[in-house]
Amino acid sequence: MIIGLTGGIASGKSTVSALFVSKGARLVDADVIAREVMLPGHEVLAAAVKQFGSEILSPDGTLNRGKLGDIVFQDPAALQALNNLTHPAIRREIKERMNSMEEEDPKKLTIVDIPLLFESGLENMFHEILVVYVPREVQIARLMERNGLSLEQAEARLNAQMDIEAKRNKADYIIDNSGELAHTEQQVAVLWDRLGLS
Ligand SMILES: CC(C)(COP(=O)(O)OP(=O)(O)OC[C@H]1O[C@@H](n2cnc3c(N)ncnc32)[C@H](O)[C@@H]1O)[C@@H](O)C(=O)NCCC(=O)NCCS
Ligand SMILES: Nc1ncnc2c1ncn2[C@@H]1O[C@H](COP(=O)(O)OP(=O)(O)OP(=O)(O)O)[C@@H](O)[C@H]1O
């Protein structure tokens, strides 16, 4: 059983994925894969340097994530160019990992955490999609706090994604993460039972 998990930036995707893992699910995390393709030596990083210049690198040759984020999150054309470089490799790796997990044990739940699942049109990869939801103002507050961003920077990042209400409307399952963690945990437990995994 495979469920695609998505939501908005800082809506709590990692938090909810971790709750599923603690109950025994397996996890494929697109953010982890996205970081791997941007490591020194990877052809995707080399292509990004060609596109955006060596100023996106730190002196030690690793990606300066803040720098590249500043460039792409305020320029839709630059973001599209980055997506064109990174997404095919990320998609390929996600498919490989989820297929090999399914082969291992098809009865176990696999959660595939993909921030841009809808934006990238990956709905068809999954029978069911779970959206981790918080209202926009909660998203902005948590993003500002976690990443030390100004309101303007946080809004720019939100505006680079599909609106969270639109994502919520496309969901098969919704976990509302706007309350306390215990409330989120409770919803995960209810869904776990509903899926017949207990
Ligand atoms: C631009 C980069 C360097 C910024 O790094 P930074 O450490 O500041 O942010 P991080 O990677 O943790 O991303 C935080 C969140 O931003 C959002 N985000 C990231 N990339 C994108 C994108 N291409 N389009 C819209 N939102 C994005 C996601 O919600 C993500 O969870 C980095 O996000 C990146 O390499 N992006 C390209 C790869 C990609 O598309 N990743 C998205 C996950 S599949
Ligand atoms: N129920 C909650 N109550 C309070 N804070 C929370 C709750 N859930 C998550 N957070 C905090 O909100 C921030 C965002 O959560 P998390 O990192 O899980 O989101 P995400 O959707 O995975 O983020 P990203 O899109 O950047 O990958 C974190 O700092 C986290 O500790």
Ligand 2, atom 28: nearest CA belongs to which residue? 146
- Please give the pLDDT value at position 102: 86
The pair of three-digit structure tokens given for residue 1, joined into one six-digit string: 């059983």
Q: How far is the CA of 26 from the centre of ligand 1 (A)?
A: 22
- Please give the pLDDT value at position 69: 93
Confidence of residue 73 (pLDDT cuts 50, 70, 90): confident
Q: How far is the CA of 32 from the centre of ligand 1 (A)?
A: 10
pLDDT digits (tens, 9 = 90+) for 120-173: 999 999 989 999 999 999 999 999 999 999 999 999 999 989 999 999 999 999
Instruction: Say if residue 60's pLDDT is above 90.
Output: yes
Q: Is 79 in the pocket of ligand 1 (CB under 6 A)?
A: yes
Q: How far is the CA of 65 from the centre of ligand 2 (A)?
A: 19
* Rounded distance between C-alpha atoms, residue 174 and residue 29, angstroms: 19
Among 190, 148, 189, 193, which Cα is nearest to 22's?
A: 189
Instruction: Say if residue 15's pLDDT is above 90.
Output: yes
The best mutation among 82, 139, 167 to test binding of ligand 1, ranked by most ligand atoms within 8 Å of the C-beta, falls on 82
Instruction: Say if residue 198's pLDDT is above 80.
Output: no
Instruction: Tell me if 48 sits within 8 A of 85, measured CB to CB.
Output: yes
Confidence of residue 105 (pLDDT cuts 50, 70, 90): confident
Q: Is 177 in the pocket of ligand 2 (CB under 6 A)?
A: yes
Ligand 2, atom 30: nearest CA belongs to which residue? 12
- Please give the pLDDT value at position 160: 86
Question: HSE (CB half, 13 Å, CA atoms) of 170?
Answer: 21
* Rounded distance between C-alpha atoms, residue 50 and residue 130, angstroms: 36
- Please give the pLDDT value at position 93: 95
Mean pLDDT of 114-124: 93
Mean pLDDT of 21-39: 97
pLDDT digits (tens, 9 = 90+) for 76-104: 999 999 999 999 999 999 999 999 998 88
The pair of three-digit structure tokens given for residue 65, joined into one six-digit string: 């994530």
* Rounded distance between C-alpha atoms, residue 186 and residue 62, angstroms: 40
Q: In CATH, what number does 2-193 get?
A: 3.40.50.300
Give the domain ranges of the chain.
Answer: 2-193
